[in-house]
Structure 1
Amino acid sequence: MCDHGKSMEPEGEHSGNSPAGGRWRRRDLLRASAVGGGALLGGGALIGGGVLLGAAQSAPAAHSATVPSAKHAQRQRGLELVLLGTAAGPVPDPKRAGISSALIVDGAVYLVDAGLGAPRQFAAAGLDRSALRNMFITHLHADHLMSYYDFFLTAPGRPAPVTAHGPGPAGALPPKEQGSTPGTVDPRDPTPGLKDHTEDCHAAFAYSSNILMRSVGSADPRDLVDVHDIALPAVGASALGDTAPRMRPFPVMEDKRVKVTATLVPHGPVFPSFAFRFDTDHGSVTFSGDTRPTPNLVQLAHDTDLLVHEAVPDAAMQAPGLTGSHSRASHTALSQVGGIAQRCGARRLVLSHIGSGTSQPIDSPQWTRTVKQTYDGPVTVGADLMRFTVTARS
């Protein structure tokens, strides 16, 4: 695999467990609402029988973008990005599915986030569920997680288990923002990580799963996912302190196709929140996750072939009250994204996890012009089911 930047060995690890102590089993306080409406969008019939669709067959440049076509043959070699969903936020968007992206590396699929409708988009892109190898969740906001468990409720047949990587328990809740009036859901365990979230989903859907295993021979969803909470290097990060201190990228996983590294990024009070980089023999792709500008991302994405970055209109940053303060603490203004990509040395920039912040549709030409003021590479304002072929720089 290709190396980048400085050494990526972790400086240490912590378990991510709550200071209050160990886990306990709870059947009476399940967070079934975390799955939300996503299960309704991910019917098993939508996933079965697909094949991997390749990128454009004649791509003279280092990158090319296409839309799906049934005429494309399955690619057994190469690196391709598919934007499954590009919407920002948990409110359903009639024109965009929830945030989710798929990387196809030599025929194997690696999923980054699983927002609302991700299994449906996975099927619409012609991806084969049996080719899904790993899932990576940047953070545990609902809009990145709504349809995560759908992939195990609706899997056709008995595919090999998927390995899921994501944040561990935060360990503490931040104080409320001025003007907010929060309660505390599940006060005995209010900050579960991805592994605990998955166990709760198993329990929440126990009746459906138990019936379907007995009546139609469905797979046991517990056999379809192996969850790993990502261990953090000892850099002084915490839910009640600095959620994303300066740090070196650290390794998450590696197989024969891809090496995945990560860094913490600042996303308001959310902890942990990750950006991910995928290095392959064919090139590299970096996902910003949800973040305000941070040098951690610039270091992670140094010389990346393709940077997938979030963007919020500048006007949203000036909104009054909690909306504006959340945007400023958690996201990157459109006018800032180009400069970030330029400092990274990214060969191409793709905007995803986007929204206008108003009732007006996104003006893609205007967004592109804004970014190009500070970035001299190719820019694409992402749309659902766009595909990009990626090749390494020579």
Structure 2
Amino acid sequence: MLAGLAATAAVSAAQWSGAQTAAADQARPASRSGAPLSLTLLGTNGGPAPLATRYGISSALVVDGRTYVVDCGRGAVSQYLRAGLSMPSLAGVFLTHLHSDHVVDYFAFPLLAAGTPGTTGFTTPIDIYGPGPAGIDSTVAVAPGTVPGTAEMTELAARAYAASPTFFMSEHTGTDPMTLLRVHDVLPPSDTGASATHTAPDMAPFTVMEDDSVKVTAVLVPHGAVYPAYAYRFDTAHGSVVFSGDTAPTPNLVTLARHAHVLVHEAIHPAALLRMGLPQALIDHILATHTDVADLGRIAAQADVGTLVATHLGPGDPAVVSDAAWRRLLRDSARRGGFAGSTVLGTDLLHLPVRA
């Protein structure tokens, strides 16, 4: 129902000044940058409703040749390949929350690419990190019981699509996708006191994963009834990138993003949503669970980040809010919020090297 949230993608403040707006329009294949840390926006639309002009929300972070996908909106697999990213480089997938517009293409990665040779497939197991069970009952008639977390969701998807790998394997041409996934349910530390009725209490970031190239930390963020919903921070030797996920303004995100080189944050433009004639109840929900683009400059200034990248645009349809209008809104937000770093409007397939 959301038309889409506006996006900005950015490198470090030292690398971007007046040139960032032009760069936001110049996507180039990720494989050509050669940077040890780079960000590619695979899709920048917000909300479940599909658009012809923007793909669903998804981003890819390349760290020393390993690729980590954050959220898997509509078209994420196709955009991944269009961006010039090599499927064998895929090391992990991180899901901020389990709304449809963030997970609809998730199982397409293993279903289509697991065990496939060459650059369009992967044969080494990948790690999946996503919200654990919410602990609430499902209201879907064909799915009684509690709402599944990421691990159970993956198992159910594998069951639903079991025919395809079974047929392929019977002819010795396929792989069971589940053999190439290591799925991790992410739950907040027990001492946060978080629950489905207290979704995002003030908290310190906690570690989700760490290896020799990257450390990923997370905090809970408020997104209406959704629990758990996370923002993720990737710290590397080459710089740090934070993804807000879907969130209303929260001090947790400011804490997580402190001194990051890049903050990739969702954005809505309330006045444009009001002009679209959406039901009032839906507008009220959107305003209560997302972040007004007018607040982004203040948030980026409080966190003292180098570059602010707006994505998950709402509305995402350029016929409703043009890219030029989004850029004006970002500039105005930065000025009013006292943010002196760079602002970049995110566009599909925008590729940006990140430098500390």
Under TM normalisation by the shorter chain, which class is it?
A: 0.7 to 0.9
Match among 78, 86, 92 for residue 50 of structure 2: 92
Bigger Cα Rg: 1
- Structure 2 partner of 1:62: 15
Structure with the larger helix share = 2
Query: Helix, strand or coil: the match of 1:154?
Result: helix
Contact 1:307 1:350 (C-alpha < 8 Å) held by counterparts: yes
1 CA distance for matches of 2:87 and 2:200? 34
**Given that residues 316 and 327 in structure 1 are in contact (C-alpha distance below 8 angstroms), is that contact kept between their aligned partners in structure 2?**
no
Distance 2:213 2:133 in 1: 29
CA deviation map 1:343-393 (0-9, x unaligned):
11111011111022778332233323332332322111110000111111x
Letter in 2 for 1:238: S
Say which SS state the counterpart of residue 332 (structure 1) adopts. coil
Q: Which residue of 1 aligns with 2:297?
A: 338
In 2, Cα distance between the equivalents of 1:92 and 1:317? 16
Q: Which residue of structure 2 lines up, in the alignment, with residue 198 of structure 1?
A: 154
Unaligned runs of 5+ in 2: 1-9
Q: Would you say the 8 A contact 2:51–2:317 is kept in 1?
A: no
Verify: 1:166 aligned to 2:122, yes or no: no
User: Tell me, what secondary structure is at the counterpart of 2:300?
Assistant: helix
Task: Give deviations 1:42-68, integer Å, cap 9, x for gaps.
Answer: xxxxxxxxxxxxx99xx9953574644
Are 2:208 and 1:252 aligned? yes
Identity across the alignment (%): 44
The reply on whether 1:81 has 2:34 as its aligned counterpart is no
Q: 2:232 aligns with which of 267, 276, 280?
A: 276
What number of residue pairs does the alignment pair up? Answer: 326
> Which residue of 243, 251, 266 maps to 1:310?
266
Q: 1:284 to 1:71 in 2, by over 3 A?
A: closer
Q: What does residue 6 of structure 2 align with? A: none
- Cα deviation, residue 98, structure 1: 0.6
**1:123 to 2:81 alignment:** yes
CA deviation map 1:249-308 (0-9, x unaligned): 000000111000000000001000000000000000000000000000000000110000
1:219 Cα shift? 1.7
- 1:179-198 equivalent positions in 2, closer than 5 A: 184-198=140-154
Q: Could you tell me how far apart the structure 2 residues matched to 1:301 and 1:138 are?
A: 15
Pairing of 1:23-42 with structure 2 (within 5 A): none
Which residue in 1 is equivalent to 2:163?
207
Going from structure 1 to structure 2, the CA distance change for 1:325 and 1:161 (only over 3 Å counts) comes to same
Aligned twin of 1:136: 94
1:70–1:302 Cα change, 3 Å: closer
Contact 1:74–1:107 (CA<8 Å) still a contact in 2?
A: no
Give the Cα separation in 2 of the matches to 1:357 and 1:389. 24
Q: Distance in 1 between matches of 2:305 and 2:341?
A: 8
Task: Please say if residues 109 and 132 of structure 1, whose CA atoms lie closer than 8 Å, have aligned partners that are also in contact.
Answer: yes
Q: Say whether 1:285 aligns with 2:247.
A: no
RMSD: 2.4
**Conserved in 2, the CA contact under 8 Å of 1:314 and 1:335?**
no
Tell me the amino acid that sits aligned with residue 383 of structure 1: T
Aligned to 2:4: none
2:345 matched residue in structure 1:
381
Provide the C-alpha distance between the structure 1 equivalents of 2:152 and 2:272, rounded to a whole number of angstroms: 34
**What's the secondary structure of 1:166's corresponding residue?**
strand
TM value normalised by structure 2: 0.85
Aligned CA distance change for structure 1 residues 72 and 107 (closer, same or farther; 3 Å): closer
Q: Secondary structure at the match of 2:309?
A: strand
| 1:321 paired residue number | 280
8 A Cα contact 2:132 2:151, kept in partner: yes
Distance 1:72 1:142 in 2: 29
The 2-side partners of 1:137 and 1:220 are apart by: 22
Q: SS of the counterpart of 1:261?
A: strand
Query: Quick one: distance in 2 between partners of 1:72 and 1:207?
Result: 34
CA offset digits 1:112-142 (Å, max 9, x no partner): 0001110000000011110000110000000
SS in 2 for 1:303: coil
Partner of 2:175: 219
1:73 Cα deviation (Å)? 3.6
The answer (yes or no) to whether the contact 1:317–1:333 under 8 Å persists in 2 is no
- Tell me the alpha carbon deviations over residues 213-261 of structure 1, each in whole angstroms, 9 at most, x when there is no partner: 223511211112110001311211111x210000000000001110000
What's the CA shift for 1:159?
A: 1.4
| 1:349 to 2:302 alignment | no
- Choose between structure 1 and 2 for higher RCO, CA contacts under 8 A separated by at least 6 residues: 2
The TM-score, its normalising length taken from structure 1, stands at: 0.78
How much does 1:78 deviate?
1.4
Q: Distance in 1 between the 2:254 and 2:302 partners? A: 7
Could you tell me which residue of structure 2 aligns to residue 372 of structure 1? 334
Distance 1:304 1:70 in 2: 25
Which shows bigger deviation, 369-378 or 228-237? 369-378
The whole-number CA distance in structure 1 between the counterparts of 2:251 and 2:30 is 42
The answer as to 2:58 corresponding to 1:105 is no
The unaligned stretches of length 5 or more in structure 1 are 1-54, 175-182
1:147 to 105, 117, 123: 105
Tell me which moved more, 156-165 or 302-311: 156-165
Give how far 1:184 is off.
2.9
3-state SS of 1:104 partner: strand
